[in-house]
Structure 1
Amino acid sequence: MTGLVQMAGSLFPDGVGVGLVTIGAAPPLWPGEARAVAEAVAHRQAEFAAGRAAARLALLAAGLPEAAIPAGEDRAPLWPEGVVGSITHGEDCALAVAAPQALVQGLGLDVEPDAPLPDDILSEICDGAECAWIAGQVEPLRWARLIFVAKEAAFKCQYPLSRAIFGFDAMHVTVDAESGGLIARFTREIPPFAAGSALEGRFVRTAGLILAGFSRTGA
C-alpha cells in the first residue's frame, strides 16, 4: 500500500498530499458527511467512508488540518476553503489527493484495473484519432482503458471551475507512452475553458492498476 501512495504522489507536483485507506477499514464519518450515503447500500457506505478517511490523510500529508468533507448537491466533495482535492475508489481501497489552492488550482485522480476496456464501449470513450492511436499499440484495449482513466481524472480536475457535466467526446487525450505524460485537450468550449485548452497530467501502471493524475496551476 505504501508503494501505491508513492506512485500516486509521483503524478503530482511536490506539496500535494496523498492518502489511502482500505475499503471496510475506515473510521466513522465526520458530522455532516453521512447524509450523502444515508440510503446507500453497505458497500457504497464503506467506499464513501474510505474515501473521506483517505482525503483526511491527504490533507495531513499536505500540511493541512483535518476537516469534514461533505458532498454537495452535485455529489462532488466539498473541500475546506482554500483547498483543492480529488477522491477515487478502486476495488479494494480509496485514494485521495489534496493541496492548498495557493499551490494548485485543481486536482484530478482516477484509478482503474489495468485490464482491457470492454470493446462494446470503446466508441463511447475514444474518438477516431484516439482509436487510431491505440490500434498501433500492443494490447490496444489496455491503452483504451488508460484513455478512459485519463479523461475521468481530467474531468475531476476541471470540474470545480466549470461545474459542467459533459461526455467523453469533449476531451481528446494524447499519451506519451515513454514518459508517462498525458494531455487532455477540450474539443469544444466548456466555459471558462476555450476549445483547444489543455490540461497536463501523468499516468502510471502499478500493482495491476492504472492511475492517472492531472493538476491545474493556472487561475
Structure 2
Amino acid sequence: MIERLLPDDVSCAATREETVPDGTLFPEEEALMARSVTKRRNDFATARACARRAMAGLGLPPVAVLHGHRGRPLWPEGIVGSLTHCHGYRAAALAREKDVLALGIDAEPHAPLPEGVRELVTLPAERERIGPQAEEGSGALHWDRILFSAKESVFKAWYPVTGLELDFLEADLTFGQENGTEEERAPVSAPVSARGAFAARLLLTDPALPTTLRGRWRIEEGVIATAVLVRPDWRTGEHY
C-alpha cells in the first residue's frame, strides 16, 4: 500500500505479519531491545525486516538500523527513509539523498482516535473542516485518524532535515484531490476504501523545507497509510 503513495525511485517494503523469525535482528539491534516487552520487540523487528527489503531494492547490503532522538531511524550515509508500524501493517520506505530530501510515512488503523486525543492533535480550523465529513454515518471515513496519520508523516519528513520538534498544532492540514498519474487515479480492483491528497501548512518554518508539505493518503483493508515526500530541488520544481 505504501508503494502506491510514493514514486518509483523510493524503495518500499511492507508486511501484515506481526512477528518475524528469530535471528532477524542484528546484534546491535538486539541490544536495543534487550529489555523491551514482546509487542515493542515485534514492532521493532518487523519494521527492520521491511527496512532490509527496502535496502535490497536500492541495491544496498543489509545493515542494522539503530535509532536516535525520538526514535528516529539512523540510515546508511546517503540514504533517507522512514518506518511505520501499527496493528496489522508494517512498512519501510527508503531513497537516495540525491533523489529525495525528506520522506515520511505512517500507518494507522482505520478507526476513530481515542477519546480526548482529537482535541490534542487538531486545530479548531481542522476540526471545523473535517466535522461535516465525520458526521456522515456508519460508513463515513474516520477523518480524525487520517489527519493524525498525515501529521505523523509530516513530522517524520520534517524532523530529520531540520532537527526541530514539530508539534501537532504547528501544522494546519487540508485535504484535496489526489495528484498522480491517470493510471493511479483510475479505479482499481484492490479493496481500496478511499484515497486522496493533503497539504500541511507549517506554522513553524525552516529554510531547509517548503512552508507547505504535500502528501497522499490511502485506506485498504482497515489500514490508513500516509506519505510525505520533498525533492532536493523543491525551490525550483515540484516537491512531490
Q: Specify if TM > 0.5.
A: yes
SS in 2 for 1:80: coil
Number of matched pairs: 211
Greater alpha carbon shift after TM alignment, 17-26 vs 97-106 = 17-26
Q: Is it true that 1:57 corresponds to 2:71 in the alignment?
A: no
Alignment of 1:69-80 (within 5 A): 69-80=65-76
TM-score by length of 1: 0.88
TM-score by length of 2: 0.80
Write out per-residue CA displacement over residues 140-192 of structure 1, whole angstroms, 9 at most, x where no aligned residue: 77111111000001100111112222321011111115661111121133x34
Rate the CA distance shift 1:205–1:93 in 2: closer, same or farther, 3 A. Answer: closer
1:25 pairs, out of 20, 23, 29, with 20
Q: Following superposition, which runs of at least 4 residues in structure 1 exceed 4 angstroms of deviation?
A: none
Amino acid corresponding to residue 149 of structure 2 in structure 1: V
SS in 1 for 2:116: helix
Alignment of 1:199-218 (within 5 A): 199-218=213-232
Cα distance in 1 between the residues matched to 2:28 and 2:166: 29
Cα distance in 2 between the residues matched to 1:28 and 1:49: 7
Cα distance in 2 between the residues matched to 1:171 and 1:100: 26
Q: Which runs of 5+ in 2 are unaligned?
A: 180-195, 234-240
Cα distance in 1 between the residues matched to 2:143 and 2:177: 9
The 8 Å contact of residues 51 and 96 in structure 1, kept in 2 or not, is answered as yes
Cα distance in 1 between the residues matched to 2:111 and 2:177: 16
The 8 Å contact of residues 178 and 216 in structure 2, kept in 1 or not, is answered as no
Which position in structure 1 is the counterpart of 2:188? none
Cα distance in 2 between the residues matched to 1:16 and 1:136: 35
2:43 pairs, out of 33, 43, 47, with 47
The 8 Å contact of residues 122 and 144 in structure 1, kept in 2 or not, is answered as yes
SS in 2 for 1:32: helix
- Aligned-pair CA distance for 1:119: 4.3
2:94 pairs, out of 98, 101, 105, with 98
RMSD value, Cα = 2.1
The 8 Å contact of residues 2 and 14 in structure 2, kept in 1 or not, is answered as no
- Aligned-pair CA distance for 1:93: 3.5
Identity of counterpart residues, as a percentage?
35
The 8 Å contact of residues 184 and 199 in structure 1, kept in 2 or not, is answered as yes
- Aligned-pair CA distance for 1:129: 1.2
Which position in structure 1 is the counterpart of 2:32? 36
Cα distance in 2 between the residues matched to 1:201 and 1:63: 26
Cα distance in 1 between the residues matched to 2:88 and 2:150: 20
Q: Which runs of 5+ in 1 are unaligned?
A: 1-6
